[in-house]
Structure 1
Amino acid sequence: MSRFLFVVPPLVGHVNPAVGVAAELAARGHRTAWAGLPEAIAPLAGPEAEIHPCDVLPSADRAAPPGPLDEAYRRPPELRGTAALKYLWETFLIPLADAMAPGIEAAIARFHPDVLVVDQQAVAGALIAERHGLPWATSATTSAEFTGALAGLPLVEAWIRGLLDGLRGRIGAPGRSTDPRFSPHLVLAFTTPELTGPTTADRPIRFVGPAIAPRPTEPPFPWEWLDPGRATALVTLGTANADTGTSFLSACHRAVQERCHRLQTVIADPGRALGAPPPDADVLVLPSVPQLRLLEHLDAVVCHGGHNTVCESLWHGVPLVVAPIRDDQPVVAGQVVASGAGVRVRFGRPDATRLGQALDEVIDNAAHRAAARRIGDSFRAAGGAAAASTHLEQLARPLPEPVEEPSR
């Protein structure tokens, strides 16, 4: 039996893929534990999860324990491109690493892990594992960084490396040069080349596909509302974009109302951007939805290009309309379009007519559903949580010492 410590940021989309892997490892008799924010992990990993708490904000900024979607993690909605990336690193990722480091140290001291499984955005785990001489695997919840997303931005990449070097000097092993975003031992990519296309990274990447696992808790849903005689769509921008999506959700609402004779739509509206619309037989607006179960009933998904939503949709063979906002989302949206599994629309200045046309395209053009099913088949063939667990077991197993040939 081996011990695996999962180090995750306080973000739902980064915890969820690890949950299925941790459950599979536990089912194989291994012991698993988590280092991170308990409020973000416990609702997803379940009440039996062993969680070693970590701070996620510097103590000077922590007036109260934040939840997984605390306003401190939200960026000004007008930020895009390199400005958004700069804000992400300077205001969230580097302070998060500094804040998590003491908790990760304490978790290692108490749990004595054989392997750390470190999310790409929880880089403190990688640096501390390196300093302790522990093997660690990267949990890559998006493929953007090893498909050349920063290839044309050498100054940005150099700037990020400078930030990481400074962080290593504070919490890691000075003098080392390993990039903490990519383990030299194992990178678990929760996708497949059928979606990503060719990769540019020279790293030990193992494409395992999404680690789809049942959610311990899920919001209620009126399943009797679904009409099997009409196509069904879901519109969602994820929980982290509630402050940016009012115009987009409003345009989507108008577009689907114009198609109510043939389409029923569920709109996830966690920030209540649409207010409190009256009950509608054709459009259902809810603060949250049981997305995995709902996907089994859908014909299309409109989303922001978040990696988890895209992969969960394609797992179910559901084509997409993607409206990327920032970060890795334009890269993931490009993958969807290049694979044939959906179409891309603009998030800024949304137009109800164009949104409606995009929905018509993915629902009526069988080629998009065929592409989505092909990618979903590749996801299942990749093995998901079971394949990831096998790779982690191999990492936990010490390599045999070389046998010396007897001298002649």
Structure 2
Amino acid sequence: MARYAMLPSPMAGHVNPTLPMAAELVARGHHVTYHLPEEFRPQAEAVGARLAPVRLREPHGYRREPDPVARFAKVPMWLAAEAEDVLPHVLRAAEEHRPDAIVYDMTCVWGRLLARLRSGPAAMVVGSYVGNDHFSPVRTRHYAAMKEHLVSGFAETGRVVARINARHGLTVRPQELFARDEQLVLVVMPRAFHPAGETFGEPFRFIGASLRAEARGTSLCPPVPPGRRLAYVSFGTVVELTDAVLSALRGTFDGTGWQVLLATGERAVDAAALPGHFTVRRSVPQLEVLRRADVFVTHGGTNSVMEALVHEVPMVVAALAPEHAITADQVEQLGLGTRIDPDKLDAAGLRSAVGAAADNPAVRRALAAMGRATREAGGAAAAADALEKLVAR
């Protein structure tokens, strides 16, 4: 029996991939403690873990940025600023619970610093891309778009890190906070999907999708009338649904034989203003929906794309943030669907992209192969195997 401290960043897209890992560890007799704000207690306790609550000064601080690229760039700066207050709390909790291993998310600054301040093994969970001499996300043209936003916030992040270093006797540089260089790096995608995936050796372990359990047969899934297909549309929790996307969706699926399920997230949408074949929900049980969907229109979030791959659903990716744009490139290059420029999104273009994804036999063949690779990578069980070996070293 081992004790694991689980420190994902306090955002749903970063917490969700860790929950199946925690459930698997608990099922094997281990103890898992999550260090998250109180709002995540139900999720932690549902998988048999306990919660050691932390308090943020500005929950969801990145959402102050309306521009999607600036918002994406703001996430690490927000987490670095929060670490100044959160780190002392997780240090005290770690002294109390005495974990055998620390498991932290790639953007969780206080998790990384905790791993530096305590002896013992540590693992990083990466819900996007890793880098080496052959590929790095920061060397892509998509990340170049963030440069001005990163530079504008770098000075304040440097001051925060200097204060943390002085308080805790560390010598961490700001640029080291988000390096993917831990003793074990769990990458939540199949090697075959990652750019230059075959070039990554230790400490990287590609586990495919880490899927959370959901009840089947929920009433939130709309009935699909005979002769219609189900189009599922979701833009996640960090990227908001824009007016341009809503306008394009209305025209795309009008009279085309589709039943549309639209998950709106934080965006308020007047369902009455949409055609009758649209069903609008703030959130849905995504795995259950993807089991039934014929096409998935998405912003390209890694979790969503991995879940679509497991169920072999053709995708149309309208990426608004740099990381998602890399995913859109991969979906297109690997023949798993189509990508569309969100800045040029209109009904005609989206209708064409949906048809190219949903009606192409080559897409179905590519999805079958990638779906198999995603499932066979092992998921949460493979992650638990690697974490047990890490502790046993």
Q: TM-score, normalised by structure 2?
A: 0.87
Show the counterpart of 1:174. Answer: 170
CA 171–18 in structure 1, closer or farther in 2 if over 3 Å, else same: farther
Tell me the CA shift for residue 381 of structure 1: 0.8
Distance in 1 between residues matched to 2:263 and 2:222, nearest whole Å: 18
Q: Is the 8 A contact 2:127 2:188 kept in 1?
A: yes
Show the counterpart of 1:230. Answer: 228
Distance in 2 between residues matched to 1:136 and 1:51, nearest whole Å: 19
CA 309–381 in structure 1, closer or farther in 2 if over 3 Å, else same: same
Q: How does 1:357-372 map to 2 (within 5 A)?
A: 357-372=352-367
Does structure 1 residue 8 correspond to structure 2 residue 16?
A: no
Does structure 1 residue 385 correspond to structure 2 residue 380?
A: yes
Which one is further off, 193-202 or 119-128? 193-202
Q: Is the 8 A contact 2:19 2:43 kept in 1?
A: no
Show the counterpart of 2:17. Answer: 17
Q: Is the 8 A contact 1:305 1:322 kept in 2?
A: yes
Distance in 1 between residues matched to 2:195 and 2:7, nearest whole Å: 28
CA 77–176 in structure 1, closer or farther in 2 if over 3 Å, else same: closer
Distance in 2 between residues matched to 1:20 and 1:170, nearest whole Å: 37
Tell me the CA shift for residue 220 of structure 1: 5.5
Q: 1:317 aligns with which of 303, 312, 318?
A: 312
State the Cα deviation string for residues 188-211 of structure 1 (Å, max 9, x = none): 001012111314767511001111
Does structure 1 residue 131 correspond to structure 2 residue 117?
A: yes
Q: 2:254 aligns with which of 253, 257, 273?
A: 257
Tell me the CA shift for residue 224 of structure 1: 6.0
Show the counterpart of 1:108. Answer: 94
Q: How does 1:319-338 map to 2 (within 5 A)?
A: 319-338=314-333
Show the counterpart of 1:211. Answer: 210
Q: Letter of the aligned partner of 1:88 in structure 2?
A: V
Show the counterpart of 2:63. Answer: 74
State the Cα deviation string for residues 291-332 of structure 1 (Å, max 9, x = none): 111111011100101111111111110111001111411111
Extract unaligned runs of 5+ from structure 1: 400-408
Q: Letter of the aligned partner of 1:363 in structure 2?
A: A
Q: How does 1:9-48 map to 2 (within 5 A)?
A: 9-43=9-43, 46=46, 48=48
Show the counterpart of 1:49. Answer: 49
| Partner-residue secondary structure (3-state), 1:239 | coil
Distance in 2 between residues matched to 1:6 and 1:96, nearest whole Å: 17
Tell me the CA shift for residue 223 of structure 1: 4.3
Distance in 2 between residues matched to 1:176 and 1:267, nearest whole Å: 44
Show the counterpart of 2:137. Answer: 149
| Partner-residue secondary structure (3-state), 2:348 | helix
Q: Letter of the aligned partner of 2:283 in structure 1?
A: S
Q: 1:245 aligns with which of 242, 245, 256?
A: 242
What count of residue pairs does the alignment treat as equivalent?
380
Q: Letter of the aligned partner of 1:188 in structure 2?
A: L
Tell me the CA shift for residue 36 of structure 1: 1.2
Show the counterpart of 2:76. Answer: 89
Which one is further off, 163-172 or 34-43? 163-172
Q: How does 1:277-288 map to 2 (within 5 A)?
A: 277=272, 281-288=276-283
CA 86–268 in structure 1, closer or farther in 2 if over 3 Å, else same: closer
Q: TM-score, normalised by structure 1?
A: 0.84
CA 319–99 in structure 1, closer or farther in 2 if over 3 Å, else same: farther
Q: Is the 8 A contact 1:186 1:205 kept in 2?
A: yes
Distance in 2 between residues matched to 1:210 and 1:170, nearest whole Å: 39
Q: Letter of the aligned partner of 1:77 in structure 2?
A: P
Q: Is the 8 A contact 1:8 1:119 kept in 2?
A: yes
Distance in 2 between residues matched to 1:184 and 1:284, nearest whole Å: 44
Q: Percent identity?
A: 29
Q: Is the 8 A contact 1:191 1:207 kept in 2?
A: yes
Q: Is the 8 A contact 2:44 2:50 kept in 1?
A: no
Q: Is the 8 A contact 2:222 2:279 kept in 1?
A: no
Compute the RMSD of aligned alpha carbons.
3.0
State the Cα deviation string for residues 53-94 of structure 1 (Å, max 9, x = none): 11222xxxx5xxx4xxx4x331422353xx55543333x121
Q: Letter of the aligned partner of 2:203 in structure 1?
A: P
Q: Letter of the aligned partner of 2:206 in structure 1?
A: F
Tell me the CA shift for residue 289 of structure 1: 1.3
